Amino acid sequence: MSQWTHVAGIIRVDSATHVIVRYPEITPEIEKAEIEKLLSEITPPTGSEGPTEWVVDIQAGPSLSRGTVTFYGDLRDFGDEDVAEIREWWKKILGEVFSLHPAELNVAQKGSYKLALGQIPWMFIARQAVLTIRVEWKGIYTLLWDGDKVVEYFAPEHGE
């Protein structure tokens, strides 16, 4: 019998890039492509039938709230001993893709010169994020982002 682990999560994405840099050329499609590029550089947890996947949904408009990234996966032959791999992947996404770095903000705020699109300091922020990991016959791990670190909770399966 196979061991399955099911992953589901969401990140609410904020970005100040289009506001601070004031580029009308920054479209939701460009932001989506940049997020997808950054996510693709981090290897997702993978079971014997495939990896954890994601969908990026970015909305148009002047708001700092840009949209969401949802994560999902059914990882076969992935058990309780593999949860650490998922946990580290999630922390890496939050720390590398959705973390505002002050140096980037300083670059964007200096002067009124216009950077080429390839030079824009992207500033994607995880305003809210949660990932649930259900290990069959074990329980559910919930990883919450508090804006600074990942906080973890565990609930055992019924009957455990």
Is a pLDDT exceeding 80 seen at residue 153?
Answer: yes
Only one residue has tokens 């993978």, namely: 46
Mean pLDDT for the stretch of residues 10-17: 87
Token pair of 44, please? 């997702």
What integer pLDDT is reported at residue 118 of this predicted model? 52
Mean pLDDT for the stretch of residues 59-81: 92
What integer pLDDT is reported at residue 102 of this predicted model? 42
The per-residue pLDDT of the chain, averaged, comes to 84
More confident call, 118 vs 35:
35
Mean pLDDT for the stretch of residues 38-59: 95
Mean pLDDT for the stretch of residues 40-62: 93
120 contacts 17 by C-beta, under 8 angstroms:
yes
User: In the chain, at which residue ranges do the beta strands (DSSP E only) sit?
Assistant: 4-15, 46-47, 50-51, 53-58, 65-76, 124-135, 139-145, 150-156
What integer pLDDT is reported at residue 99 of this predicted model? 77
Is a pLDDT exceeding 80 seen at residue 159?
Answer: no
d(CA 150, CA 148): 7
Condensed to tens digits (0 to 9), the pLDDT of residues 78-132 reads: 999 999 999 999 999 998 888 754 434 444 444 444 444 455 566 788 989 999 9
d(CA 136, CA 3): 7
What integer pLDDT is reported at residue 55 of this predicted model? 98
Work out the pLDDT band at 22, boundaries 50, 70, 90: low
78 contacts 7 by C-beta, under 8 angstroms:
no
> What domains lie within the chain, and their CATH numbers?
4-136 (3.30.70)
45 contacts 89 by C-beta, under 8 angstroms:
yes
d(CA 70, CA 60): 18
What integer pLDDT is reported at residue 106 of this predicted model? 43
Phi and psi (nearest 5°) for 9?
Answer: -160, 170
